[in-house]
């Protein structure tokens, strides 16, 4: 088993989050503003700018896709994330190019997406096959988080995004681990959601064709937790993992940070 770090290397419990240094340009209960970049070019009626809708989609996700320009070419990286209020946090190695870019002035222009597939939509024609989905697209500038307390809280929030309750049931990151980890912040300023629900669209002349049509629902499922080989058998399964999985009780509001 790994050695327990010296007490001096373990950060103290995190203090309460400080108020955001970024003043909100609009009340947080208002929808996100509509901009040229966050209006869908197709099926604009499926778009939503309601914070409740956007937050719910983000809070349900595990993986986001972060797009940026590197050496003149587009790059998209899948990575874990957390929402804390009106911010997203991502982390990685201090040697990572996007994380280094986010630390430069004036930050790193990015586009971030999160998508959930809710159903396979089968139509009578190949053309009208589709997916039911919920997605969020965020445009903005990522900045590296340099405040040690905010960085530590952000790392806890990323753990909480995956398994609510886990950050309080784990060893805190020590000084060496924090020094090797960079955290970036992306404010939720230019954001939109897009959602498709319902059955297939059909051409009138296709309705009588002898092909099955409808929706195959898609939903995540959790299997029984598998203990690590080295785990002391006397350590019980944490309550936050049973019986419906790490998100069985649901959550709202994003991770505290």
pLDDT reported for residue 179: 84
pLDDT given at position 14: 39
Model pTM?
0.82
- Structure confidence at residue 22 (pLDDT): 38
Percent of the chain with pLDDT over 90: 62
- Does position 9 have pLDDT exceeding 50, yes or no? no
Task: Please give the average per-residue pLDDT across 201-227, as a whole number.
Answer: 95
Residue 101: its pLDDT value, please? 66
Rounded to an integer, the average pLDDT of 10-35 is 55
The mean predicted confidence, pLDDT, of the chain is 85
Query: What pLDDT was estimated at residue 116?
Result: 98
Tokens standing for residue 219:
């939903």
Confidence of residue 189 (pLDDT cuts 50, 70, 90): very high
How far apart, in Å, are the Cα atoms of 85 and each of 18, 95, 156, 191?
12, 28, 14, 14
First to last CA, the chain: 30
- Domains contained in the chain, CATH given: 30-200 (2.30.110.10)
pLDDT at 148 over 90: no
pLDDT at res. 42: 85
91 vs 155: CA distance, rounded Å: 8
Q: Are 196 and 117 in contact (CB under 8 A)?
A: no
Query: Who has greater pLDDT, 33 or 106?
Result: 33
pLDDT of 19 strictly over 60: no
- Residue 202, pLDDT > 80, answer yes
User: Are the CB atoms for 137 and 194 separated by under 8 Å?
Assistant: yes
Cβ atoms within 10 Å, residue 128: 15
Task: Judge whether 161 and 60 are in contact, CB under 8 Å.
Answer: no
Mean pLDDT confidence for 181-209: 96
pLDDT in tens, 38-68: 988 888 889 999 999 999 999 999 999 999 9
In this prediction, residue 244 carries a pLDDT of 62
What pLDDT is recorded for position 183? 93
- pLDDT the model gives residue 43: 85
DSSP alpha helices (H): ranges in the chain? 51-60, 97-103, 148-162, 175-179
Rounded Cα distance between 113 and 153, Å, is 23
pLDDT of residue 15: 38
Once rounded to an integer, what is the mean pLDDT over residues 230-239? 95
Residue 104 scores a pLDDT above 90: no
pLDDT for 7 equals 33
Residue partners of 69: CB distance under 8 A and separation at least 6: 75, 109
pLDDT at 203: 96
Q: What is the predicted pLDDT for the residue at 44?
A: 85
């Amino acid at each position: 088993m790994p050695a327990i770090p010296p007490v001096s290397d373990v950060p103290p419990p995190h203090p309460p989050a400080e108020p955001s240094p970024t003043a909100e340009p609009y009340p947080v209960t208002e929808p996100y503003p509509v901009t040229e970049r966050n209006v869908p070019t197709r099926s604009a009626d499926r778009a939503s700018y309601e914070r409740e809708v956007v937050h719910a989609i983000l809070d349900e996700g595990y993986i986001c896709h972060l797009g940026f320009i590197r050496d003149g070419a587009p790059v998209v990286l899948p990575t874990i994330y957390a929402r804390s209020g009106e911010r997203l946090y991502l982390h990685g190695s201090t040697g990572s190019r996007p994380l280094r870019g986010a630390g430069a002035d004036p930050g790193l222009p990015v586009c971030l997406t999160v998508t959930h597939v809710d159903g396979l939509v089968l139509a009578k024609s190949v053309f009208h096959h589709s997916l039911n989905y919920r997605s969020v697209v965020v445009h903005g500038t990522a900045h590296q988080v340099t405040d040690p307390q905010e960085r530590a809280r952000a790392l806890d929030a990323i753990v909480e995004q995956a398994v609510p309750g886990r950050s309080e049931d784990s060893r805190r990151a020590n000084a060496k681990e924090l020094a090797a980890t960079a955290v970036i912040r992306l404010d939720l300023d230019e954001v939109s959601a897009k959602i498709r629900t319902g059955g297939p669209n059909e051409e009138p002349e296709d309705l009588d064709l002898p092909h099955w049509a409808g929706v195959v629902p898609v939903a995540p499922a959790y299997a029984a937790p598998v203990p690590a080989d080295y785990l002391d058998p006397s350590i019980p399964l944490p309550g936050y993992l049973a019986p419906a999985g790490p998100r069985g009780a649901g959550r709202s509001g994003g991770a505290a940070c």
